[in-house]
Structure 1
Amino acid sequence: MTVVMTTPSVRDLDRLAGVLSSWQVDAGPLHLHPGDLGWHSSRGAVQTAASLRVWSRAGRILAIGLLDGPDGLLRMALDPHLRDEDALCRQLAADVTDPVRGVLEEGDAVVEARGAERFSQLLSEEGWQPDEPWTPLHRDVSGGVDDERVRGAGVRIEIIDASRVDPWVSVHWSAFKGTPFGDEERRALRERWLTMAGGPFYHRARSLAAFDSDDHAVAVTTVWLAGPGRPGLVEPMGVHRDHRGRGYGAAISVAAAAALREMGSSSVAVCAESSNAAAVATYVAAGFTAREPVVDLRRACQGRG
């Protein structure tokens, strides 16, 4: 039967999140997770649906891809039972490689397809090259989560809702932007968080903030459930630039693990750029185990380095 690629509608998003959830396993690769869709949904459900590509055959979903941002990044997950099927992987490679097919435009592009070895091999044969390495990290929470790191850092952890979003967005901006945080930037980021929290995935999520003894918000995270007995995702986690080096990143990561255990997760997963040694060390300090680095595949525009 023919493999068909489609762009879903908003009404399909809940089903797609459910399919992605069923593909998450503790020992499996850290591929596209329903939490990735959740974090992306801060752009709105309509845009999130428009950014997705779904491959199916006879009504069965075989692969899902998320066009994540304006820089030609396609993040993918394949049905674990069909990950090495040659016909499927050849179809995926053809659709991703040919701009006419409506996945990636011409020019620079990156495909993240962790665990999909046959698909990655086919892209390599088409001239795609290894990109920068990433380090997957994993923490088993089935036996409980010791909150010693949280207590040792001297912080309290709060669940963030719409009435308490300002501290969360302030820390996030500092952690990932680091530029002056004016009223316009605050309003925009606040609206994005509220859009995410009111979207189709947030019933699977929880946002947390760590406050120090002076009541300053110092670290934040959002965690995403894939379902009972499956690995949850930390996306994102950040520490305010004025409060780094004090163990707050490890503390909020332990709190993230505890929250996901409470929500029913069997383990917690996150992926950090291998070049970001501080991020990897923070998660290791929070009880995560670093796995073998993985690389995405990059297609460089002809004539460019």
Structure 2
Amino acid sequence: MEWTHRPYRDEKDFLALLAFLSDCNAAAPTAGYIQPGDLGWWLGQNEVLNPPDCVEIFEDSVGRVLGFVFSDPPTWAVIQASPGSSDALLDDMLTHSRARAGDPELTVWTFEGDASLIAALKRHSFIRTDKRTVQFEYRSAQQGLPELPKLPVGFSFTAISDSSQLKTARVKLHRAVWHPSQVTASAYEHLRASPAYDLELDVALVGSDGQLVAYALGWIDPKTRTGVMEPVGTHPDHRGQGLGRMVVQEVNRRLAERGAERIIIRTPESNVGACRLYASAGFQNIGYIYDYSR
């Protein structure tokens, strides 16, 4: 098979990549493909990232997507290729990633179940490091519909509607959680315009004083009946009170009600607090995503 590769262009490419990821996850659910919602968040979260600079699409002679590379910054990459892709295609994707990095210390984020990519990395002298990300999953089909969280008196959940005041507060909360953050009001509007976004899954916990104290953003892929939460956070002034777990439970419940049978959350293994939070919300550790470097 012959192929070419080119930079990401426009919204048409975004829709094609969403469909590609959905198809890959349906065909090989244990191989560790990222979810369509992951891509929605990665490309929509700020105004600094320019998709044509960090997404390279590999396609066949009729324009069918065979895979893509997401690299931001250039020295870090996620490689997604169709199930059963040839060694030659994976080698070409790695060669592109190395050339973009312009540095021998390229790191590739790789799920332990992606045997083909791991073999390609070894061919290119990459070595698995000790740094890894935990993938947690909630299986609603087996574990049942998550229960309604029991909130403190005066607290409530809100979906982020088109209220300018609410959207401003949501951006402010995100920036406080992830300081320093590049998320801005206009970037958040861009994110909300994504076809993958559902405002009813963009949920914040409102404190008794009316301030937003924690939030989680859910994404769902109807084809694979899989949900993902990204990002998740609690305001630094309100941590250690179980509020993050409550909002995770609520978004988990909403995803399950929309038909998600698997709900995914990921966090670095070094983030012990987040690992405990997700486990306390009923999520189970189902594997790791490793950093491979050379």
Matched, 1:202 2:202: no
2: CA distance, partners of 1:37 / 1:111: 16
The CA deviation at 1:244 is 0.6
Alignment CA distance shift 1:3-1:45 (3 Å): farther
**Number of corresponding residues:** 284
Shift of 1:272: 0.7
- Is the 1:9–1:46 Cα contact (8 Å) retained in structure 2? no
Judging changes above 3 Å, is the alpha-carbon distance between structure 1 residues 156 and 147 closer, same or farther for their aligned structure 2 residues?
farther
The whole-number CA distance in structure 2 between the counterparts of 1:201 and 1:151 is 29
What TM-score comes out, normalization by structure 1 length? 0.82
1:119 alignment partner AA = L
CA contact (8 A) 1:205 1:224 kept: no
Aligned residue for 2:258?
263
Q: Does 1:32 align with 2:27?
A: no
Matches within 5 A, 1:1-305: 1-10=1-10, 11-25=12-26, 27-39=29-41, 40-43=43-46, 47-59=50-62, 60-68=64-72, 70=73, 72-80=75-83, 82=84, 85-97=86-98, 99=99, 103-114=100-111, 115-131=113-129, 132-142=131-141, 144-148=144-148, 150-152=149-151, 155-163=155-163, 164-177=166-179, 189-202=184-197, 206-299=201-294
Structure 1 residue ranges without an equivalent (≥5): 300-305
TM-aligned CA deviation for residue 16 of structure 1: 1.4
| Contact preservation (8 Å) 2:32, 2:114 | no
Conserved 8 A contact 2:159-2:202: yes
Partner of 1:303: none
Is 2:54–2:74's contact at 8 Å kept on the other side of the alignment? Answer: no
CA displacement, residues 106-134 of structure 1 (integer Å, 9 cap, x when unaligned): 35322123233222233234332323111
Residue deviations 1:19-53 (CA, integer Å, cap 9, x gap): 11222259524432211221122346992244211
Relative to structure 1, the CA distance from residue 27 to residue 201 in structure 2 (aligned partners, 3 Å threshold; closer, same or farther) is closer
Q: Secondary structure at the match of 1:196?
A: helix
Q: Structure 1 residue runs of 4+, over 4 Å off?
A: none
The DSSP-based 3-state class of the residue aligned with 2:252 is helix
For normalisation by structure 2, the TM-score amounts to: 0.85
With over 3 angstroms needed to count, the CA separation of the structure-2 counterparts of 1:86 and 1:153, relative to structure 1, is farther
Deviation at 1:229, TM superposition (A): 4.2
Q: How far 1:152 moved relative to its partner? A: 4.7
| Partner AA of 2:257 in structure 1 | E
- Residues 232/5 of structure 1: CA separation in 2 closer, same or farther (3 Å cut): same
Tell me, what secondary structure is at the counterpart of 2:132? strand
Tell me the alpha carbon deviations over residues 217-254 of structure 1, each in whole angstroms, 9 at most, x when there is no partner: 11111111122442111110000111111111111111
Deviation at 1:294, TM superposition (A): 2.8
Structure 1's 29 and 44: CA in aligned 2 closer, same or farther, altered over 3 A? Answer: farther
Contact 2:4/2:60 (8 A) holds in 1: yes
* Structure 2, gaps ≥5 residues long: none
